Amino acid sequence: MDACPNCQSTTFTKAGIIKERQRYRCKKCNYFFTVGKLGKQIDHYYVNKALQLYLEGLTYREIERILGVSHVSVMNWVKKYGIKRPYSSQYHPTYKILSQQELREYFNVAGNIKGAGVLVTELGDKFMLIKWERFKE
């Protein structure tokens, strides 16, 4: 529980219990929300991340391992949103999960970012770095 789903404000007060779930009222926009609603928003975060990783060429199993959501869910989302990725055997993505500090150290080494594209995406409290290596043998 860290922000109002409506305006992202972090000032809210408890406003009763509804169906055994704590209800909150945002002090800024007066929006009422429950823990359940916020949970749904978190799900959306993972849908977006999963589809993003899928487009980057990762397999369902890899996405499952990284995000902790079942590969069946990921397959369903890909189907639901009609995501298609072009087939390519010339690029092979490799990835690392890094903290902000580790990310900084990684970028300090010129050899790490030369000769390949690097994409960084937020992943919970860490960052995921995807590196594209072309014509990898």
Which of 3, 15, 23, 31 is in the footprint of Zn ion by CB under 5 A?
31
Collapsing DSSP states into helix, strand and coil, what is residue 57? coil
Q: What burial class does residue 126 get, using C-beta atoms within 10 Å of its C-beta: 0-12 exposed, 13-18 middle, 19+ buried?
A: middle
Instruction: Pick the stretch among 26-34, 38-46, 55-63, 114-122 that binds Zn ion (CB under 5 A).
Output: 26-34
* Calpha distance 137→134 (Å, rounded): 9
Contact between 9 and Zn ion per CB under 5 A = yes
* Residue from 1, 29, 35, 97 in contact with Zn ion (CB under 5 A): 29
Q: Tell me: does residue 26 bind Zn ion (CB under 5 A).
A: yes
Buried b (16+ CB within 10 A) or exposed e, 83-108: eeeeeeeeeebebeebeeeebeebee
Stretch that binds Zn ion, among 22-30, 67-75, 84-92, 123-131 (CB under 5 A): 22-30
Binding site for Zn ion (CB under 5 A): 4, 6-7, 9, 26, 28-29, 31
